[in-house]
């Protein structure tokens, strides 16, 4: 059974339940139950109409739960007004669900969890595992998130930018275990791109694909990080790169530039270089200028300093760096790299060790420590 | 079964025998060390004795309550602290002797020159639930 296919039906089925009058929180629980049931039943007894099956089972589950609640409260509700089962309405509320799950009233971690469950169809256990938190904690986070958005009108358009930030977070952060969050983020962004025609959605999808294509080459067999310049480009997935470039070009042609398109353009220029030496750094600097104009982010200016160092020499890169706050994450690592390129190995080694001390994760800390060790070993010889 | 915390310190414990900072090792020595640590954890997973392990960033701060309606007081980043925890591993083993044996193995991780670091690890028993039969 194709679990991704099953999960791709999640938002449609959930939207239909909500349109039939179920409240979002109860409908979401019912759909989740139906998905679990499908995983159990379908391998032996695949339905002819998977979507119809899910709608029927989820709706029945919703009614059972609502009736049980009503009985407990000794109150007759309107649950007997069951609409006649029939063809699903033509409207697809997938897009509305994306907006709801990324609603600005939610914290980023809640929006991520709710999106993965209500739009992605992942179980609470899978989401908990991906973020290394106990299942009970994740269950609470999701039910609080559902309460937070319970009063939100379902039929109002939301802000695409908030949805994109959530999907970017899913792609960029999280532990890759049983569930591949990066692949899931791509699936969800692709599905969003099918529901709304927006150049930044396309830009984010292109960005994800272009980074995902390089994934196999990013870590060595012992788990250590391999920097872009040292990656085995023969292991980059050229089909995925081609798709990303294609999506990006179509988006750029519409002349509504945004930060994700600009980031994807930089990724595309890296992907396009047959060797690290052939990278078009001049054009990359130009894209960083665009990106700095669009976002005014110090992190962008830091990355720009690296690009300037490649395009115009290490001295120019170091000059660009002096304008930036040295408390910025990775500032010291960038300084170390540029000093090494400039030939000042003693300073570079000292800065690499200092950067390792400030590294935000173990992989980077190990990488930076190795860089310091490499230079120290070389200098001793 | 009893749970123990194996604590690794950046500083604060007695000096290790092979006490060379990691950025003075060769890259190959660093790889060998990482491999040893990851092999150690997977071996304990297989024996059913591993609970979890975490590493901490060296920078943190002291924080305390400062009265109603006031923001907490912070002191730090704690560059001056004498004792600084680097990380931990939680194990669930049959005896104190087994905990000490495992801490000894962990302390033998290779460092500079490929020789064991002989680093001091702190072994701390968890306080347990009270037993069912009390008398």
| CB-CB under 8 Å, B23 with A369 | yes
Is B32 within a domain?
yes
Q: How far does chain A reach from its first CA to its final CA, in angstroms?
A: 59
Residues B86-122: tens digit of each pLDDT: 999 999 999 999 999 999 999 999 999 999 999 999 9
| CB-CB under 8 Å, B23 with A376 | yes
| CB-CB under 8 Å, B29 with A369 | no
| CB-CB under 8 Å, B27 with A373 | yes
| CB-CB under 8 Å, B27 with A353 | no
Max Cα-Cα span within chain B: 58
> Closest partner residue to A357 among B25, B26, B58, by Cβ?
B58
The whole-number pLDDT of residue A79 equals: 47
Gap between the Cα atoms of A179 and B126, Å rounded: 33
- Min Cα separation B10/chain A (Å): 11
Is B131 within a domain?
no
> Closest partner residue to A373 among B23, B58, B59, by Cβ?
B23
Mean residue pLDDT of chain B comes to 92
Gap between the Cα atoms of A345 and A173, Å rounded: 33
Each domain of chain A, given as residue ranges in start order, spans 3-80, 93-196, 198-218+232-262
- With H, G, I as helix, E, B as strand and everything else as coil, classify residue A331: helix
- Min Cα separation B68/chain A (Å): 26
Phi, then psi, of B53 in degrees rounded to 5: -145, 145
Is B107 within a domain?
yes
Question: CB-based contacts of B129: which residues, under 8 Å, 6+ apart?
Answer: none
The whole-number pLDDT of residue A74 equals: 57
In A, minimum Cα distance to B52 occurs at A132
Q: What's the ipTM? A: 0.86
Gap between the Cα atoms of A54 and B63, Å rounded: 51
Name residues 51-110 of chain B within 8 A of A (Cβ).
55, 57-59
In A, minimum Cα distance to B23 occurs at A373
- Tell which of B10, B22, B23, B112 to mutate to test the A interface (max A CBs under 10 Å): B23
> Closest partner residue to B35 among A222, A349, A356, by Cβ?
A222
CA A168 to chain centre: 4
The whole-number pLDDT of residue A69 equals: 80
Phi, then psi, of A90 in degrees rounded to 5: -70, -25
Residues B15-63: tens digit of each pLDDT: 999 999 999 999 999 999 999 999 999 999 999 999 999 999 988 889 9
In A, minimum Cα distance to B58 occurs at A357
In B, minimum Cα distance to A378 occurs at B26
Q: Can you say whether the dihedral through the CA atoms of B89, B94, B100, B103 is positive or negative?
A: negative
**Taking CB atoms and an 8 Å cutoff, what residues of chain B touch A372?**
23
Report the 10 Å Cβ neighbour count for A258: 22
Burial A70-103 (b: 16+ CB within 10 A, else e): eeeeeeeeebeeeeeeeebeeeebbbbbbbbbbb
The enclosing domain of B104 has a CATH number of: 3.30.70.1060
- DSSP conformational letter for A198: -
Provide the β-strand partners of residue A343.
none
- Nearest by Cα to B113 from B42, B57, B30: B30
| CB-CB under 8 Å, B58 with A373 | no
Alpha helical stretches, state H, B19-66 = 27-46
| CB-CB under 8 Å, A373 with B31 | no
- Min Cα separation A130/chain B (Å): 16
The whole-number pLDDT of residue B98 equals: 97
Gap between the Cα atoms of A347 and A337, Å rounded: 10
Range of the domain at B60: 2-125
Residue B80 pLDDT level (bands cut at 50, 70, 90) = low
The whole-number pLDDT of residue A85 equals: 53
Is B52 within a domain?
yes
| CB-CB under 8 Å, B34 with A358 | no
- Tell which of A133, A345, A373, A379 to mutate to test the B interface (max B CBs under 10 Å): A373
Residue-by-residue pLDDT tens, chain A, 381 positions: 678 788 899 999 999 999 898 999 999 999 999 999 999 999 999 999 999 999 999 999 999 998 888 777 654 544 444 555 555 555 678 899 999 999 999 999 999 999 999 999 999 999 999 998 999 999 999 999 999 998 887 777 788 999 999 999 999 987 766 789 999 999 999 999 999 999 999 999 999 999 999 999 999 988 889 999 999 999 999 999 999 999 999 999 999 999 999 999 999 999 999 999 999 999 999 999 999 999 989 999 999 999 999 999 999 999 999 999 988 989 999 999 999 999 999 999 999 999 999 998 999 999 999 999 999 988 765
**Taking CB atoms and an 8 Å cutoff, what residues of chain A touch B31?**
222, 224, 370
pTM of this structure: 0.89
The whole-number pLDDT of residue A68 equals: 83
Strands B84-93 and B2-11: antiparallel
Question: CB-based contacts of B42: which residues, under 8 Å, 6+ apart?
Answer: none
Q: What is the CA radius of gyration of chain B?
A: 18
Domains identified in chain B, total number: 1
């Amino acid at each position: 059974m194709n679990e991704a296919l099953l999960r791709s039906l999640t938002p449609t089925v959930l939207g239909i339940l909500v349109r039939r009058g179920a409240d979002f929180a109860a409908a979401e629980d019912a759909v989740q139950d139906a998905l679990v049931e499908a995983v159990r039943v379908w391998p032996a007894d695949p339905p002819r109409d998977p979507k119809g099956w899910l709608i029927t089972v989820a709706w029945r589950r919703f009614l059972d739960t609502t009736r049980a609640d009503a009985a407990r409260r000794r109150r007759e509700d309107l649950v007997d007004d069951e609409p006649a089962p029939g063809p699903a309405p033509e409207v697809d509320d997938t897009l509305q669900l994306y907006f709801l799950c990324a609603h600005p009233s939610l914290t980023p971690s809640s929006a991520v969890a709710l999106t993965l469950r209500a739009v992605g169809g992942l179980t609470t256990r899978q989401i908990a595992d991906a973020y290394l938190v106990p299942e009970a904690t994740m269950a609470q986070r999701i039910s609080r998130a559902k309460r937070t958005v319970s009063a939100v009108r379902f039929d109002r358009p939301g802000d695409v930018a908030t949805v994109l930030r959530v999907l970017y977070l899913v792609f960029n952060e999280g532990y890759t275990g049983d569930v591949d969050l990066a692949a899931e983020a791509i699936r969800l962004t692709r599905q969003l791109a099918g529901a709304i025609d927006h150049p930044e959605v396309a830009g984010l999808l292109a960005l994800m694909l272009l980074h995902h294509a390089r994934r196999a080459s990013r870590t060595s067999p012992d788990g250590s990080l391999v920097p872009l310049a040292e990656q085995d480009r023969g292991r980059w997935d050229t089909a995925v790169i081609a798709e990303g470039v294609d999506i990006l070009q179509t988006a750029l042609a519409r002349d509504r530039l945004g930060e994700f398109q600009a980031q994807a353009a930089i990724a595309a220029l890296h992907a396009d270089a047959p060797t690290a030496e052939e990278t078009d750094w001049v054009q990359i600097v130009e894209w960083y200028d665009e990106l700095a104009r669009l976002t005014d982010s110090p992190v962008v200016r830091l990355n720009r300093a690296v690009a300037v160092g490649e395009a115009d020499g290490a001295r120019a890169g170091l000059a660009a760096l002096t304008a930036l706050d040295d408390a910025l994450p990775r500032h010291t690592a960038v300084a170390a790299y540029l000093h090494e390129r400039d030939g000042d190995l003693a300073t570079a080694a000292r800065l690499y060790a200092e950067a390792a001390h400030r590294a935000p994760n173990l992989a980077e800390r190990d990488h930076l420590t190795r860089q310091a060790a490499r230079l120290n070993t070389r200098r001793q010889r | 079964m009893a749970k123990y915390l194996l604590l690794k310190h950046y500083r604060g414990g007695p000096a290790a025998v092979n006490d060379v900072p990691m950025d003075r090792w060769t890259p190959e020595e660093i790889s060998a060390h990482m491999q040893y640590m990851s092999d150690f954890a997977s071996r304990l997973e297989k024996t059913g004795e591993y609970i979890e392990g975490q590493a901490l960033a060296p920078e943190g701060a002291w924080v305390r309550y400062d009265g109603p309606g006031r923001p907490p007081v912070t002191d730090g980043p704690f560059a001056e602290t004498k004792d600084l925890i680097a990380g931990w591993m939680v194990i669930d083993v049959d005896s104190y002797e087994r905990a000490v044996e495992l801490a000894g193995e962990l302390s033998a991780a290779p460092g500079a020159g490929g020789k064991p670091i002989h680093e001091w690890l702190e072994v701390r028993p968890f306080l347990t639930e009270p037993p069912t039969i009390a008398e």
